[in-house]
Structure 1
């Protein structure tokens, strides 16, 4: 494994690379409060024939955390990814995005070619203007809370939201590992991520789904009713899409059952066609 920082469009992007030069290429994009390490356990179950990039997104991990929230906008992040891939001479790869990372992977794939697109518990954004405004306001308040009360207080709150209730079944060791990853974040990085790239701020991509001809695989957890419902709706519009609902897990399938998640990703990359 190589751990590298590359300067792209004025910011430093940090990523890990595994199995450099292997046949199949795959990129993983983590969720909010995560980092490239979110995928560490999944990678242990993937074959050495995969050349893998796990990227710290802007405001997270060891990647830059600009003070201006507009630098976190989805269009900026798409341009960052494309510049990084050009610098690395990466093409013909499978793109995997979880939650916030999926909200970036989807619009990226609507602009640039990828071999396959895997979206775990993700959304194309909000169509309704009032709903978007309400979400933007609540995310602004959450950003203020992070800056005013600090990271530990925010992580205590974040761990308790209903989206992550199914993670209460995890071992104490794994729960502590997730907590440490969240606590390794930065107040300004997370606050600006919310202000510049929250679900309420980003454009809705529902009207772009019909244009995405990339084979797309939607993976959701049975216990995450909201995102399972979203995936079923997305599948109606995506020209080449399949949806897998995984039993006994919630929002973060790769955390709650990393071995199964890795097996699904491997099957998609090596043999699965959209039916």
Structure 2
């Protein structure tokens, strides 16, 4: 595996790459509190078939932690990624994003559709369409960001890993739960707080209208136990006859963590068709 720190637009972005450069490339973007390593089990399944690129998003993992929340905005992160892809000479690739990383992946694809051969969205959304709902979510994210700074990362993780969204992870083996917790604990308070403020669901614009004109193939994956995102994906899937939506039995929000081999198999089978 190649481990890089890439200078991009004033940041240092951490990238992990594996596989022959001549193989088709797939880029993975993690969710909030995650890092490139969250994809490790999935990426093992791609060895010899695809070149994999996993990225630590702004404020996460080993990537820079800007002190201004506006540096985390969707617009900034899209341009950071495009500059990074240019540096890595990635002109055409598959793009997979989970949750927050899915929102960023979608936004990037809408702006640079010619780069993305197919988009895989795991437990993600195009944002909130109603202004009042967005304002309420933005206020809630700002409040949570303040608590992260005031109470520290351990207190935040203790609460975060017990929210209903991650209830299905309680049944994972103890070793895997420890790995997930350690990944979260290694984050930086400022990075997480600014990420919530700068690119939280309430801060980004809604991309619902833009979905109608997207030319890219899209594969939506949700977990059966994650009713909210199953409903969102079904609504998204209804906007295009060429998109595909799969619901994974017995899985929650983070399918790639709970069922990595199955997730990888589903993605590879979809890519082989496209």
TM-score when scaled to structure 2? 0.98
CA contact (8 A) 1:213 1:238 kept: no
- Of the candidates 127, 130, 148, which is equivalent to residue 128 of structure 1? 130
Q: What displacement does 1:167 show?
A: 0.5
What SS class does the counterpart of residue 130 from structure 1 fall into? helix
Structure-1 residue corresponding to 2:78: 78
Q: Which residue of 2 aligns with 1:224?
A: 226
Alignment root-mean-square deviation, CA: 0.9
SS at structure 2 position matched to 1:237: coil
Preserved contact between residue 19 and residue 47 of structure 2 (Cα < 8 Å): no
Tell me, which stretches of 5 or more residues in structure 1 are unaligned?
A: none
The 2-side partners of 1:149 and 1:263 are apart by: 40
Equivalent residue number for residue 184 of structure 1: 186
Deviates more, 1:143-152 or 1:83-92: 83-92
Match for residue 162 of structure 2 among 149, 154, 160: 160
Q: Which digits, 9 at most, give the CA deviation of each residue in 1:11-46, with x for residues without a partner?
A: 010010001414211000000000000001111122
Question: Where in structure 2 are the equivalents of 1:126-275 lying within 5 Å?
Answer: 126-238=128-240, 240-270=242-272, 272-273=273-274
Distance 2:240 2:144 in 1: 32
Moved more, 178-187 or 82-91: 82-91
- Give how far 1:239 is off: 5.6
Shift of 1:49: 2.3
Partner of 1:61: 61
Give TM-score scaled by structure 1 length: 0.97
Contact 2:14-2:62 within 8 A present in 1 as well: yes
Q: Which ranges in structure 2 are unaligned for 5 or more consecutive residues?
A: none
1:20 and 1:181 mapped to 2: Cα distance?
28
Distance in structure 1 (CA, Å) of the matches to 2:241 and 2:212: 6
Number of aligned pairs?
272
Give CA deviations for 1:136-193 in whole Å, capped at 9, x if unaligned: 0110010001000000000001001000000011000000000000001000000000
Contact kept, 8 Å, 1:22 with 1:49, in 2: the verdict is no
2: distance between equivalents of 1:198 and 1:47?
33
Checking the alignment, whether the CA contact within 8 Å between 2:59 and 2:65 is kept in structure 1 is: yes
Residue 240 of structure 1 and its aligned partner are, at CA, apart by 2.9
Instruction: String of CA shifts for 1:69-119, please: whole Å, max 9, x gaps.
Output: 000000000000000111111022100000000000001000112000000
- C-alpha distance in structure 2 between counterparts of 1:231 and 1:209, whole Å: 12
